[in-house]
Amino acid sequence: MQTVTKSFSKFFFVLLLVVTISFSISFSSYAQSNTSLGIKGGINIANFRGEDVEDYDGRTAFNIGAVLNYSITEKAGLSFEADYSSQGAKLDMGTNEATTKLNYIRTTLLYNYFMGSNDMDIRPKLFVGPSLGFLLNSQNKVGDGDYVDYPDDTFNSTDFGIAFGAGLHVRVKEGIWFVPDVRYNLGLTDITKNNLFGSNSTRNGVLSINVGLTFPLN
């Protein structure tokens, strides 16, 4: 519980800081609004990365959250995302399957490069940026049994990585966009505290297929 409380505190501090900076830049730099707010969600296909986790299979789960977009120029912009992201992996043990579930609050700051011009109804984009996850809980189950909490000293409370991918902005009406994307979140830091999986470094890897809807803040 203490770990969860600390994680939420860090998350809300980062969220407040980035939102404040974004709005300050937006309203001081332009007379018109270049900022939009939206909701997003999608499917996670998560797994572990490392020397001793090759036998693990992907766990299909979900993510859901909010996104704040800021347009710098016609071709470039920034997005700040805050999501609930369910991750983990599965291990086939022959007669049973063991499932590890890791739930995070994940914050991501993306640099977006848009193709085409603002008057296009469909605009492709590429994006990349850092991602920081705050662990809410970690659980394990075997077969059809119930999930059981891991001890608090099993997994690290934060997970840093890089997110990258491609997507589309599809105009629904003036200022409102439907935003599908495909991305990979490449974990760069060890998620375990005591080499739980026998590896010196076990990292997250998550392929996500997402959809979102954004609205102008003007």
Residue 161: the pLDDT is: 96
**Residue type at 20 in one-letter notation:** T
Can you give the pLDDT at residue 13? 55
Report pLDDT digits (tens) over 204-215. 999 999 999 999
Q: Which of 91, 72, 70, 89 is CA-nearest to residue 80?
A: 70
Structure tokens, 132 = 């920081």
In the chain, what are the domain boundaries? 2-216
Q: Tokens 């996850």 belong to which residue?
A: 133
The matching CATH number, chosen from 1.10.10.10, 3.40.50.880, 3.40.50.300, 2.40.160.20, for 2-216 is 2.40.160.20
pLDDT score recorded for residue 1: 42
Cα 185 to the chain's mean position, in Å? 7
Query: pTM for the whole thing?
Result: 0.82
Residue 33, pLDDT score: 63
- pLDDT at position 137 is 94
Mean pLDDT for back-to-back runs of 10 residues, the chain (218 residues): 48 54 49 80 95 86 96 93 96 87 97 92 96 96 90 92 97 94 96 75 95 92
